Amino acid sequence: MLRALLSCSWLLLVTNLVWGQDFDLNQYLPLDTTVHQEVLPNGLRIFLQHHDEPRDRVALRLLVKAGSLQEENDQLGVAHFVEHMAFNGTAHFAKNTLVDFIERSGSRFGADLNASTSFSQTIYKLQVRSDSISLVDSALQIMADWAGAVSFDPEEVDKERGIIRSEWRSSLSSNQRLQLQTYEALLQGSRYLQRYPIGDPVLIDTVAQERLVAFYERWYQPANMALVVVGQVDMEWVRERVQELFTPLKNKSDFEPAKDYELTTAPRRSFQVASDEEAPFTRCEIVWQHKKETSGNTYKAVKHRYVQSIAERILNKRLAALKEDRLLPYTFGYSGFSGLPGNYETYRINAMCKPEEIFSAFSLLLQETKRAAIYGFTEAEIEEEKTSILERARQSVKELDKLPSSSRAGRIANAFLRARPLIDLQQTAITSERCLAAIEAQELQVAIQNGIQSNIQTAILSTNTSELTGLPDSLQLYTALDSILTLPVEAPKKKEVTGPLLVLPASTSNYSLVAVDTVLDISTYQLSNGVKVYLKPTDFNNDQIQFRAFSEGGIDLYANEDFPSARHGLGILNESGLDTFRESELLRILSGKQARLSPYMSTTEEGLSGASNQEDLETMLQLAYLYLTRPRFDSIVLATYLDRQQRIFERIDTDPRAAFGRMMIDQKYDYHPRRPNLSLAELDKIDLQRAEEIYRERFADIGDFQMIFVGNFVADSLLHLVDRYLGHLPTFGSEESWQDQGLRLRSHTIDTIVQLGQTPKAEINLTWHSNFNYADRNERLHHSVLREVLSIRLREVLREDMGGVYGVRVTGRYRAIPDSLQQFAISFNAEPAAYEELIEEIHSEIDRIAAGDIPDEIIPKIQANRLKSYEEALRRNSFWLGQIKQCLQLGLDWTLLYPGRYEERLTTINKTDLAVLAKKYLQEALLLKFVLLPE
């Protein structure tokens, strides 16, 4: 206690000294000198930074300051098209060899090799191993080729049209159609409204190859690009190699950088009603548009962002707390700041509500916003947010050397594309201290006042077409809004939070060491009450501790009549708070703490899951104690919880895609009462008292829990706290197990075609399932590898060869509890006229794999990627937490995790075993087939 008080006093002293210093807010932030920056003679910028996490990896980015805004009228979608073509052949990498080369090196298409196009920029991403200098050299050559040597083979251009059209088709939905109508109001009169990055699907089908080349040659010029390289590699060698590869690139003599495009700023009050026949919900929104006050790399800009963030966070916490006292006239509500394209920001108030609740929803949200604008926020509220921001900043500085190189590369890319200098992340905490100290309470109040005052206002109502007649018109809405803003509001009632989170009497620690695995550095201890605790200290993060406690049991111990109360009990608990504290009060107590913990219940187990830093470990354990002994189930929260769920599920099936997904679950599980779907009838069966009884029964006896801690900690210090808060809880010697309630996928084939909705695409879901030999480790390995083989092959055949899909999702699962089952699922969308051919090709590919016809290069690719992923996983706390839990849960031996064992197993992957599994678990398994087509 004395040490904690001294630490706190020292912290306050240092903070006051730093915050008390006068400084000029217009000063520039300190720059990052660890990044080597250089401009080549041709104007191309290079950013190089040595970084050791993850080990033996390097992240690369090619950045182009051009996107859809730079397209001509006959080029709509060409910026994105060009990005696609970069993967279809370059001077040094012919069609398919680029992706093939990357995958053979252990990287994955999509995860390690990808690109994106937006309004004003295009980003190419690549991550490779750096323990091979030739591989890094090839990666740099790929970047150089993308910058100046993309092939644009006419045949490949034509094949890519279908893939891009499929990507466009993937986003089609009622929500997308509503969003486009919304943009018509927010972006009216601007170039943004005419230049969506995905482009015009009609033009994509017809645009000439020459127009792609013209865009590429116009905008992919050295003076308009940058290269970023971050990772564990010799940066002096990289610098020399980059100069060799990129210096020869030439600019055209007439090159000019891209223009900045602004939004229309003429004063106006716009009104937009967006409607769609498939929209399930009604949303209402009022948007005030503002020119950004500050930008750039100054303390003033950081302070401005903090002012907005703090004001918004406090206001929305107040809004969230309203549900603790009454039913609300909306499902979700929000009031706060956001952005728009260009140099603009907005203040928005929005809600999802019923059409007849639009005025009452706006009234409540506007009144709370106005209350903040008139009376501001309390010092206690402000200090809580300041403390929270500062603690996050300090924590981020602690973990800087553990930050992945991809994150650092992304940060550098963002700075270049936004024309901002790189700031020194080591100074983040000091910068936060200075800017937070300069914020006065009145500034937060003024931020809200200014937010809802603008001569550019946009009111947007979006709803189902059938609800249009019940909506207000422009005059009615704005008259009501003006009236609401003139109504008087009372000052907010002060809500003091009294008392600490938890006070326990002192106790004597009596934990003991049971066993040590010196190879894995996993120690087993027993607490005073006999509970087993497993510790694995790591240095993967400088200040992170992850925690899991679990016990067999779960929801399936209860009869069907109790199932709704059991399934929803945690949702009600999480919104009720803990002990004597409401949720809002608990959040205030935890403000600034780097600790989180929550209970969970699955069908076969219950437990606690959490994480903290070293300083707040005790807080995390106090939360664990309270969740185990003093849960809170509030009747008002139950009412608001049920109201919100009912609002959602009485309308959700209006969206054909949601209805189709829910129908699939119903049929897949043969309408079993415990299937994942939720129904309105189920909500009516929730009983608060029974929910609490079930929760307490599941967590009452800690004696059959096992606890795991992984992270950077001192074992004795951690165990002392664990024993204090959890080691003296009563145990009753019960030995529970799970029960099997028979939830299974359907035991006969299904072939269902549903015609529903207007979206012009087919959505396909194929699921194979059967019994599984879980005890066979080789079977488990090859089952998971078979999923990867399918994923690679279907991408190559359905996407690259046929151009029929943008992507194919392949999942594979198996389980041991409650019994051994396996399933494979393949899902994708396609043009309605083409889906049958694509399904036929999937079956043909499965037949080829079952016959052992697997391309020779695929298994080495998977082995390389798995080895790379495994090496990275070994340095993550979450990986070890999961592995230790799995061994304990299934009774597996620790030796399975010993160094070299997994690598050895990877060498056993072979075509013969994959063929056997493809026959057994795909060809001979039950198939559940679902297809959604438009009406």
750 phi and psi angles, rounded to 5 deg: -130, 135
Contacts of 842 (CB under 8 A, 6+ apart): 766, 794, 798, 826
* Spatial separation of the C-alpha atoms in residues 503 and 499, rounded to whole Å: 9
What's the pLDDT at 1?
32
Question: Within 13 Å, how many C-alpha atoms sit on residue 456's CB side?
Answer: 17
743 phi and psi angles, rounded to 5 deg: -75, 110
What's the pLDDT at 295?
67
What's the pLDDT at 734?
82
**How is residue 30 written in tokens?**
């300190």
Q: 242 near 62, Cβ under 8 Å?
A: no
- Residue 901: is it exposed, middle or buried by C-beta count within 10 angstroms (0-12/13-18/19+)? exposed
Tell me the per-residue pLDDT of 76-133, one tens digit each, with 9 for 90 and over. 999 999 999 999 999 999 877 888 888 988 888 888 999 999 999 999 999 999 999 9
Q: 710 near 880, Cβ under 8 Å?
A: yes
3-state secondary structure at position 461: strand
Which residue spans within 302-453 are E strands per DSSP?
332-340, 344-353
Q: 536 near 546, Cβ under 8 Å?
A: no
What's the pLDDT at 17?
36
**Nearest partner of 881 among 544, 405, 554, judged by Cα:** 544
**How is residue 184 written in tokens?**
């018509």
**Nearest partner of 659 among 63, 124, 174, 75, judged by Cα:** 174
Tell me the per-residue pLDDT of 642-686, one tens digit each, with 9 for 90 and over. 999 999 999 999 999 999 999 999 999 999 999 999 999 999 999
What's the pLDDT at 359?
97
Angle, helices 474-486 vs 358-375, to 10°: value is 30
Confidence of residue 738 (pLDDT cuts 50, 70, 90): very high
Confidence of residue 163 (pLDDT cuts 50, 70, 90): very high
Mean pLDDT of 515-541: 97
What's the pLDDT at 521?
98
Q: Residue 9: pLDDT above 50?
A: no
What's the pLDDT at 22?
62
The secondary structure of residue 796, as a DSSP letter, is: I
Q: Looking at this protein, which amino acid is placed at residue 48?
A: L
What's the pLDDT at 7?
35
Mean pLDDT of 166-187: 96
* Spatial separation of the C-alpha atoms in residues 587 and 583, rounded to whole Å: 6
Q: 138 near 101, Cβ under 8 Å?
A: yes
**How is residue 828 written in tokens?**
């994708």
Tell me the per-residue pLDDT of 218-260, one tens digit each, with 9 for 90 and over. 999 999 999 999 999 999 999 999 999 999 999 988 789 999 9
Question: Within 13 Å, how many C-alpha atoms sit on residue 540's CB side?
Answer: 21
Q: Which residues pair with 122 in a beta bridge?
A: 64, 117
Q: 427 near 29, Cβ under 8 Å?
A: yes
Tell me the per-residue pLDDT of 550-590, one tens digit each, with 9 for 90 and over. 999 999 999 999 999 999 999 999 999 999 999 999 999 99
Q: Residue 426: pLDDT above 50?
A: yes
Tell me the per-residue pLDDT of 801-839, one tens digit each, with 9 for 90 and over. 999 999 999 999 999 999 999 999 999 999 999 999 999
Q: Residue 4: pLDDT above 50?
A: no
Report the 10 Å Cβ neighbour count for 3.
Answer: 7
Mean pLDDT of 515-524: 98
Weakest-pLDDT range from 310-324, 345-359, 500-514, 564-578: 500-514
Mean pLDDT of 527-551: 97
Q: Residue 170: pLDDT above 80?
A: yes
**How is residue 16 written in tokens?**
């006051």
Which residue spans within 159-207 are E strands per DSSP?
none
* Spatial separation of the C-alpha atoms in residues 905 and 747, rounded to whole Å: 33
The secondary structure of residue 758, as a DSSP letter, is: S
In order of 32, 617, 801, 839, the CA distances from 786 in angstroms are 46, 42, 21, 18
What's the pLDDT at 14?
38
* Spatial separation of the C-alpha atoms in residues 142 and 139, rounded to whole Å: 5
pTM above 0.85, yes or no: yes
Contacts of 124 (CB under 8 A, 6+ apart): 61, 62, 63, 64, 83, 86, 114, 115, 143, 146
**How is residue 641 written in tokens?**
């919880």
Mean pLDDT of 590-599: 96
What's the pLDDT at 140?
98
Tell me the per-residue pLDDT of 874-916, one tens digit each, with 9 for 90 and over. 999 999 999 999 999 999 999 999 999 999 999 999 999 999 9
Mean pLDDT of 42-61: 97
